[in-house]
C-alpha cells in the first residue's frame, strides 16, 4: 500500500492554498458579515483554472486525478466554505456527473465551457416538501414531442442566482410502481423561458455564498438535454451525491486545518495565569483532537479519491467520509471557539465563522441522521450497492 501523494498533488495543494489565501480570504469577513455574495469569486476561480480540476484535457480541463479535486476542496475551505461549495456544486455534483452519465455528444457540448469556467453548473434536487426523502419530489417533466415541459420548484439550491445551468431531477412517470424509477435528470439552462431564481436570506452560515430557490414555469427542455435514460434520474442524482459528498468530506478537513491554524496561534499568544494557554492540558486535548480529525479525515477522503481514480463504486465509503469528517469539523470549530474564550464569540477572529459554516455541512448532501442510518444499514445487510450502468471515467483519463 502506497500512502504517498505525488509531486503533482503537492503542487495542486500549494496552488489551491495560495489561491484561497490571496483571492478568497481578503475581504471575506466583511462579505460574510454582510451576507454579500457575488460572481467575482467564481470569475477568479475560472481564471485560475480551478473550475477545470479533474475534468479531462480532451474537454479543456486540468486533467488532474480525483484526489486533486479533494485537495483543492480542502484548501479552499481552509479559506472559506463558500469557495468549496462552488467546487461541490460545479465540479462534484454537476461536471463529474456529466462525465459519468453524459453521452459523448453531451460531454463535448457542455464540458469545455464548464472546464474553462465560462459556464458554471449547479444541482437541483431538494424541494420545499422533499429533502431527505428525495423520492417524493414533485417537479414534473412532461414529454411533449422532442422536448419536456418542466413545472415545479427547487429550494436550497447553491449558486441559484449565479449558475448558468442546473442538473435538475424531475418526475417523468408519476405512475411508476417505484417512485425512484419514475424520475429523469436534465440540464436546464437558466436562460430558458420559464426559469427564475430567488435568493434565500438570513442563513446561519456560508453567508458569502449564494443559496436560493429556482422555479420552472412551463420551461421547455430539449430531449437531448436529458442525462441518462428516462427513468434513470434518481440513479443520476445518487451518483451526483457520491461526487458532491466527496468534495464536502475533503472540504471539512480544510475547516479543521483552519481551526488548527487559528488555535495554535492563539494558544501561543494568549496567556492566563502567567503562561500561554497552549500549556494547559485541556487546551492541548482539544488541539490533539483536531489533529486526529485532520489526519483521519484525510485518510477517509484520499481513499475515496483513489476509489474514484480506479473506478470502484464508493457510495458507502464516500458517505462515511462525509459523515465523519463533517462531525469532526463541527467539533473542531466548536472547540476552536472554546479555546478563544470570549474572543471566539465575535467575528474579530474567524473561528465563529468556522462554527457556523461547519454546521451546514451536517445538513446538506445527507443529514447526519441519514448518514448514520446508511452506515448501519450497510453493516446490517439492509443496503448494498449494485454495479451502475455508467461509471465515472477512471484516471488517467483517455487522451
Ligand X SMILES: Cc1cc2nc3c(=O)[nH]c(=O)nc-3n(C[C@H](O)[C@H](O)[C@H](O)COP(=O)(O)OP(=O)(O)OC[C@H]3O[C@@H](n4cnc5c(N)ncnc54)[C@H](O)[C@@H]3O)c2cc1C
The three-state secondary structure class of 223 is: helix
The sign of the dihedral angle between the CA atoms of 311, 316, 317, 319 is positive
157 lines the binding site for ligand X (CB under 6 A): yes
Distance CA 300, CA 253 (A): 10
102 lines the binding site for ligand X (CB under 6 A): no
Of 122 and 339, the one with the shorter C-beta distance to ligand X is 122
In 3D, which of 166, 172, 180, 142 has the Cα closest to residue 215? 166
92 lines the binding site for ligand X (CB under 6 A): no
Q: Which of 367, 388, 391, 397 binds ligand X (CB under 6 A)?
A: 367
Q: Which of 17, 66, 110, 123 binds ligand X (CB under 6 A)?
A: 123
Burial profile 234-259: b = 16 or more Cβ within 10 angstroms, e = fewer = bbbbbbbbbbbbbbbbbbbbbbbbbb
Instruction: Give how far Cα 18 sits from Cα of 23, 48, 121, 209, Å.
Output: 8, 11, 24, 20
Question: Measured from the CB of residue 209, what is the shortest distance to ligand X in angstroms?
Answer: 7
Question: Measured from the CB of residue 125, what is the shortest distance to ligand X in angstroms?
Answer: 4
Q: What are 189's strand-pairing partners?
A: 165
Question: Measured from the CB of residue 247, what is the shortest distance to ligand X in angstroms?
Answer: 12
Joined together, the cell numbers standing for residue 320 give: 462515511
Distance CA 213, CA 243 (A): 22
State the catalytic residue, choosing from 365, 369, 377, 398. Answer: 365
330 lines the binding site for ligand X (CB under 6 A): no
Of 57 and 130, the one with the shorter C-beta distance to ligand X is 130
211 lines the binding site for ligand X (CB under 6 A): yes
375 lines the binding site for ligand X (CB under 6 A): no
Which residue is at the shortest CB distance from ligand X? 131
Residue with cell 446508511: 374
206 lines the binding site for ligand X (CB under 6 A): yes
- Helices 233-269 and 281-310, packing angle to 10 deg: 150
Q: Which of 333, 360, 390, 393 binds ligand X (CB under 6 A)?
A: 360
Distance CA 286, CA 263 (A): 9
Residues 126-145 close enough to bind ligand X by CB under 6 A:
126, 131-132
Catalytic residue at 75?
no
Of 309 and 367, the one with the shorter C-beta distance to ligand X is 367
H-only helix segments in 196-311: 233-269, 281-310
Question: Measured from the CB of residue 132, what is the shortest distance to ligand X in angstroms?
Answer: 3
Of 316 and 371, the one with the shorter C-beta distance to ligand X is 371
Point out which residues bind ligand X (CB under 6 A): 89, 123-126, 131-132, 156-158, 206, 211, 360, 363-365, 367, 369-370, 373
Q: Which residues are catalytic?
A: 365
Amino acid at each position: 500500500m502506497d500512502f504517498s501523494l505525488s509531486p503533482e498533488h503537492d503542487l495542486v495543494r500549494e496552488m489551491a492554498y495560495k489561491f484561497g489565501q490571496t483571492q478568497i480570504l481578503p475581504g471575506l469577513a466583511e462579505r460574510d458579515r454582510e451576507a454579500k455574495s457575488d460572481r467575482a469569486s467564481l470569475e477568479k476561480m475560472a481564471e485560475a483554472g480551478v473550475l477545470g480540476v479533474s475534468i479531462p484535457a480532451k474537454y479543456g480541463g486540468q486533467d488532474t486525478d480525483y484526489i486533486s479535486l479533494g485537495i483543492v476542496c480542502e484548501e479552499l475551505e481552509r479559506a472559506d466554505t463558500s469557495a468549496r461549495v462552488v467546487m461541490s456544486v460545479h465540479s462534484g455534483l454537476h461536471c463529474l456527473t456529466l462525465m459519468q452519465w453524459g453521452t459523448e455528444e453531451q460531454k463535448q457540448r457542455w464540458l469545455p465551457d464548464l472546464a474553462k469556467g465560462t459556464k458554471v453548473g449547479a444541482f437541483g434536487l431538494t424541494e420545499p416538501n422533499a429533502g431527505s426523502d428525495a423520492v417524493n419530489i414533485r417537479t414534473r417533466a412532461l414529454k411533449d414531442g422532442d422536448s419536456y415541459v418542466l413545472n415545479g420548484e427547487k429550494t436550497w439550491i447553491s449558486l441559484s442566482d449565479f449558475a448558468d445551468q442546473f442538473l435538475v431531477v424531475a418526475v417523468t412517470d408519476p405512475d411508476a410502481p417505484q417512485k425512484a424509477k419514475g424520475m429523469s435528470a436534465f440540464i436546464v439552462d437558466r436562460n430558458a423561458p420559464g426559469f427564475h431564481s430567488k435568493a434565500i436570506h438570513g442563513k446561519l452560515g456560508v453567508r458569502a455564498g449564494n443559496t436560493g430557490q429556482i422555479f420552472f414555469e412551463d420551461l421547455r427542455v430539449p430531449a437531448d438535454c436529458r442525462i441518462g435514460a428516462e427513468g434513470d434520474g434518481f440513479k443520476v442524482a445518487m451518483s451526483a451525491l457520491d461526487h458532491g459528498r466527496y468534495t464536502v468530506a475533503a472540504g471539512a478537513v480544510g475547516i479543521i486545518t483552519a481551526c488548527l491554524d487559528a488555535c495554535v496561534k492563539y494558544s501561543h499568544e494568549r496567556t492566563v495565569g502567567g503562561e500561554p494557554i497552549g500549556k494547559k492540558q485541556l487546551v492541548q486535548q482539544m488541539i490533539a483532537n483536531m489533529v486526529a480529525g485532520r489526519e483521519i479525515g484525510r485518510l477517509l477522503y484520499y481513499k475515496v479519491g483513489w476509489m474514484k481514480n480506479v473506478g470502484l463504486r464508493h457510495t458507502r465509503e464516500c458517505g462515511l467520509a462525509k459523515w465523519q469528517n463533517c462531525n469532526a469539523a463541527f467539533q473542531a470549530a466548536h472547540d476552536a471557539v472554546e479555546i478563544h474564550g470570549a474572543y471566539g464569540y465575535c467575528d474579530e477572529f474567524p473561528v465563529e465563522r468556522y462554527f457556523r459554516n461547519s454546521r451546514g455541512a451536517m445538513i446538506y448532501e445527507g443529514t447526519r441522521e441519514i448518514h448514520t442510518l446508511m452506515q448501519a444499514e450497510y453493516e446490517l445487510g439492509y443496503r448494498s450497492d449494485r454495479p451502475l450502468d455508467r461509471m465515472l471515467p477512471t484516471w488517467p483519463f483517455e487522451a
